[in-house]
Amino acid sequence: MEDEEYRKLPADEKVVHKLWKARVCGYEEVTKLFRQIDDEKSPEFGKYLGLVKKFVTDSNAMGQEKGLEATLAYVENYAHAGKTVSEVMSGVVTKCMAASKTKTRELALQVTLMYIEIEKHELVVEELIKGTEQKNPKIVSACIQALTTALKEFGIKIISPKPMIKRIGALFSDRDKSVRDEARLMVIELYKWMGPSLKNHLQAANLQAVQMTELETEFAKLEGQKAVPIRYIRSQQQKQAKLAAEAVEANDESDDEVDDVPQDIDPYDLADPVDILSKLPKDFYDKLEAKKWQERKEALEALETLVKNPKLENGDYGDVVRALKKVVQKDSNVVCVALAGRCIAGLALGLKKRFQTYSGALVLSLLEKFKEKKQSVVSAIREAVDATYLTTNIEAILDDVLETLNNKNPSVKSETSLFLARAFTKTSPSSVNKKLLKAVTGALTKNINESDPAVREASAEALGTLMKLVGEKAIGPFLVELEKDNLKMSKIKEFYEKAEITVKTSSPKKARPQTAPPKVSALASKESAPKAAKKPAAVAKKKAAAVSSGSATVVRSKGGKAGPKPPQKTIEKELEDGEVESIMEDLLLSNIALELSSPLWKTRLSSAEEIMSKVQGMNGQTIPTQAFVKILMKKPGLKDTNFQVLKVKLDIIKYLAENGVFSTTTVDCCIKDIAEKFGDAKNGNIVIGTVTAMAEATSFGHVSIAVLDFAFNQKSPKVQQEVLNWLAVALKEFGVA
């Protein structure tokens, strides 16, 4: 009788039934259901949002196994399954990882890896690390094994090694042999990805000599091997599929096109920040003012020891920097000056971009100190200015560099040129605009004619490295005067050949052979379908009246009476991709545009920030607004999975709408993708601000109709709700005229 009763219940009631048979039946039903639902955002998934955590902790062994299968299907198919990761993984770790049934353990691992695939890797690693702190050695071993498997499959770009490295010491000293064995396998896997840089961390973990010897033996077997990921998170999968298709079509399996190259790990990312300000001697500043150079030296040595820590804690270093600057500028003792230079270098390397606040006040003082002839001082100042440059950019220090290139002292001129040569190797080509290029080459070509051979040599090296950075075509117009002097040009070309640009840049894709039209995959067709949507007739008419490429015609409405002044309507033709690329090339932003499609979110963020900086430095009326918006919309566009990158992109569009000449054509390029972000948990406010700015710049009617049209042709009630909320407020601001 009971059997018949529970079979009549809906699935969401079966999965919480007191009878284990009912729960098993429910799990089987929902597993099938989750795999059959086409819409990854279906409300049907939402019914189980608070129930999934119970699936994996079912008290019945069979129920737990079926519950894990249901959980796996849920995580794999539901767009918002990531919301359950912490609760579910906590249960997986404590109840499933060390289960007696082999299939339960296998399913637990599959669920773990699926959460990583849907880009919840950080929370998964956090729960697994907690698992390594459990008292049950079976759970500890299983969690270490899961971490090792995750690292092996997804690679070090996704699975951060830092939490694992912190646990090495404790795991290798565990009483249980199985824990120590799994820890050893984890370290071997880490070495495959990190290489010799891991050894420093092993020394800090205070492993036994026998353990280190065993590991060294294993490491020796791995020489020459390169680890590559064998599984990708969702945001990477589309890119990999596209690259694979292109490789097949072009019959080109070049490694340059595939993102399988292991990434070097920066030890800085793995280090814990150290608070050195609280550890400074109480009499530090008094000693720096002492008359005896030995006391000043003692204070600087204490600071030098502290700044050797690879990563420094945030804090106000203003007083320290000002004190060091004073030593560099005014101290008569070369030992103290050299120490101050090394301290500045240590601070810059330990703070990285956080040192940018202080770098602007230091560069000129450091470059001018190259007048000192003592080699110990010169070496220390080189170290300081090079480290400082890594925290800033060439444009920010341009005035200081030009001033020292024009210094009367030959040593200052030559060392500044050599500094530039080193700096250019670590500079992104996109950060060197034409104005900067003209100013720097002008100063260097002047110095290449100096009587001092060291100045001439250094200037040639800087010019050669700059040529390697931006290309012969870009720098050519600024070297016209030198082209007649074969000796100088050959010297520049010599340094051009030797120069190696170490900063990573995205190389443009190889052109497709023109022997046949490109094939269009089903995936590509699906992705491009929304872009083919017809534009309103009004927009088509505006295109017909378009002016020359990239320009905008302002059409002012004839005199009206009282009331708010309507925005100026701007009409322009839609730019072709080739025209957009040409504009970006003119602005020396081609590489930056390519980097916006990088699989690394930090690279995309840096590129977006550079574009924002570029736009903010331009005259509003001359900004090629449509070109910038089209570049921002290139895949992944506003579908970027990282909220920080998305925010910067939206900020750029908002800035363009508020400060540039924004047309309805430009609105049509981006409005649907922006409207899709209404209700975004982290960027909802900036979306509203961006859409409002676009309405103010063009036409409230045009923008509101486009937003409403999109909102009610998609299925997300959250988007519809937020669009209506925006419209209610906007109607009060714009009126209904």
Instruction: Give the range among 81-85, 241-245, 458-462 with minimum mean pLDDT.
Output: 241-245
Same domain? 190 vs 228: yes
SS3 labels along 458-511: HHHHHHHHHHHHHCHHHHHHHHHHHCCCHHHHHHHHHHHHHCCCCCCCCCCCCC
C-alpha 501: how far from chain center? 20
Helices H / strands E in the chain, number of each: 39, 2
Of the candidates 37, 68, 87, which is a domain's last residue?
A: 87
Quote the tokens at residue 38: 């086409």
- Does residue 347 lie within any of the structural domains? yes
Same domain? 628 vs 669: yes
- Does residue 398 lie within any of the structural domains? no
- Does residue 483 lie within any of the structural domains? no
Rg of the chain, C-alpha, whole Å: 31
List Cβ neighbours of 311 (8 Å cut-off, separation of 6 or more): 268, 271, 272, 273, 274, 350
Number of domain units in the chain: 4
Average pLDDT, stretch 426-455? 91
Of the candidates 234, 268, 302, which is a domain's last residue?
A: 268
Quote the tokens at residue 722: 């937020």
DSSP 60: S
- Does residue 507 lie within any of the structural domains? no
CA distances from 728 to 684, 708, 720 (A): 16, 12, 12
Q: How high is the pLDDT of residue 544?
A: 36
Same domain? 656 vs 570: yes
Q: If pLDDT is split at 50, 70 and 90, which confidence band does 246 have?
A: low
Same domain? 302 vs 212: no
Give the mean pLDDT of the chain.
84
Dihedral class, residue 680 (left if φ above 0, else alpha if ψ from -120 to 50, else beta): beta
The three-state secondary structure class of 312 is strand
* 244 pLDDT above the threshold of 90: no
Q: How high is the pLDDT of residue 634?
A: 86
Q: Identify the residue whose tokens are 């320009």.
A: 551
Same domain? 161 vs 231: yes
pLDDT per position as a tens digit, 311-358: 899 899 999 999 999 999 999 999 999 999 999 999 999 999 899 989
pTM over 0.85? The answer is no
Residue in 45, 8, 41, 50 with CA at minimum distance from that of residue 30: 45
To which H or E segment does residue 437 belong?
Answer: helix 434-447
- Does residue 50 lie within any of the structural domains? yes
Q: Identify the residue whose tokens are 């205070």.
A: 206
CATH number at residue 187: 1.25.10.10
Same domain? 591 vs 730: yes
Same domain? 138 vs 1: no
pLDDT per position as a tens digit, 693-729: 999 888 888 899 999 988 888 878 888 888 888 888 8
φ, ψ (nearest 5 deg) of residue 570 = -110, 125
To which H or E segment does residue 485 belong?
Answer: none
- Does residue 414 lie within any of the structural domains? no
382 near 330, Cβ under 8 Å? no
C-alpha 151: how far from chain center? 20
Q: How high is the pLDDT of residue 570?
A: 55
Considering the chain, what percentage of its residues have pLDDT values greater than 90?
52
Q: How high is the pLDDT of residue 306?
A: 94
Q: How high is the pLDDT of residue 547?
A: 34
pLDDT per position as a tens digit, 178-193: 999 999 999 999 999 9
Same domain? 340 vs 205: no
Same domain? 543 vs 646: yes
Q: How high is the pLDDT of residue 102?
A: 94
To which H or E segment does residue 554 belong?
Answer: strand 553-555
Same domain? 74 vs 222: no
Average pLDDT, stretch 58-70? 94
Same domain? 215 vs 298: no
Q: How high is the pLDDT of residue 699?
A: 87
Same domain? 68 vs 5: yes
- Does residue 38 lie within any of the structural domains? yes
Quote the tokens at residue 149: 């498997």
pLDDT per position as a tens digit, 34-47: 999 988 999 999 99
Of the candidates 348, 368, 392, which is a domain's last residue?
A: 392
Q: Identify the residue whose tokens are 């379908």.
A: 529
400 near 438, Cβ under 8 Å? no
* 218 pLDDT above the threshold of 80: yes
- Does residue 689 lie within any of the structural domains? yes
Distance CA 95, CA 241 (A): 36
Q: Which residue range forms the structural domain that includes residue 372? A: 271-392
